[in-house]
Amino acid sequence: MRTRVAIVGAGPAGLLLGQLLQRAGIDNVIVERQSADHVLGRIRAGILEQVTMDLLDEAGAGARMHAEGLPHHGIELLFDGGRHRVDLQRHSGGRVVMVYGQTELTRDLMQARAAAGLQTVYSARDVRIEGFDGTRPRVVYRDADGERRIDCDFIAGCDGFHGVCRASVPAGAVRTWEKVYPFGWLGLLSDTPPVCDELVYAASPRGFALCSQRSPTRSRYYLQVPLTERAERWSDAAFWDELRLRLDDAARARLVTGPSLEKSIAPLRSFVAEPLRFGRLFLAGDAAHIVPPTGAKGLNLAASDVKYLAQTLQDYAADGSEAGLDRYSARCLRRVWKAERFSWWFTGLLHRFPGEAPIEAKFRSAELDYLLGSEAGLRTIAENYVGLPLDG
Read off φ and ψ for residue 260, nearest 5 degrees: -80, 140
292 binds ligand RFL (CB under 6 A): no
294 binds ligand PHB (CB under 6 A): yes
Confirm whether 194 is a catalytic residue: no
Query: Got the DSSP string for 251-288?
Result: HHHH-----EEEEEEEEEEEEEEE-SEETTEEE-GGGT
Query: d(Cα 260, Cα 112) in Å, to the nearest integer?
Result: 30
From 92, 190, 204, 212, residue interacting with ligand PHB (rule: CB under 6 A): 212
207 binds ligand RFL (CB under 6 A): no
Return the one option of ligand PHB, ligand RFL, none that residue 280 interacts with (CB less than 5 to 8 A, by type): none
293 binds ligand PHB (CB under 6 A): yes
Query: d(Cα 253, Cα 337) in Å, to the nearest integer?
Result: 40
Confirm whether 72 is a catalytic residue: yes
| Binding span for ligand PHB by CB under 6 A among 171-179, 274-282, 291-299, 321-329 | 291-299
| Cα 13-15-19 angle, rounded to 5 deg | 115
From 100, 183, 185, 234, residue interacting with ligand RFL (rule: CB under 6 A): 185
Report which secondary-structure segment, H or E, holds 347: helix 323-350
CB of 185 to ligand PHB, least distance (A): 8
Query: Got the DSSP string for 364-390?
Result: HHHHHHHHHT-HHHHHHHHHHHH-PPT
Sheet of 289-290, strands arranged across:
82-87, 74-79, 199-204, 207-215, 218-225, 175-190, 260-274, 289-290
296 binds ligand PHB (CB under 6 A): yes
Residue 111 region, left (φ>0) first, then alpha (ψ -120 to 50), else beta?
A: alpha
Confirm whether 385 is a catalytic residue: yes
257 binds ligand PHB (CB under 6 A): no
47 binds ligand PHB (CB under 6 A): yes
DSSP SS3 for 96? coil
296 binds ligand RFL (CB under 6 A): yes
What string marks each residue from 25 to 44 as x (binds ligand RFL by CB under 6 A) or -?
------xxxx----x----x
CB of 238 to ligand PHB, least distance (A): 20
| Binding span for ligand PHB by CB under 6 A among 39-47, 110-118, 142-150, 229-237 | 39-47
Asked, as a colleague might, if the bond just before 12 is cis with ω within 30 of 0, I would say no
Query: d(Cα 101, Cα 246) in Å, to the nearest integer?
Result: 24
Helix axes 298-319, 50-58, angle to 10 degrees: 40
Name residues contacting ligand RFL, limited to 298-327 (CB under 6 A): 298-300, 302
46 binds ligand RFL (CB under 6 A): yes
Where on the chain is the footprint of ligand RFL (CB under 6 A)?
Answer: 8-14, 31-34, 39, 44-47, 102, 124, 127, 158-160, 163-164, 185, 187, 266, 285-286, 293, 296-300, 302
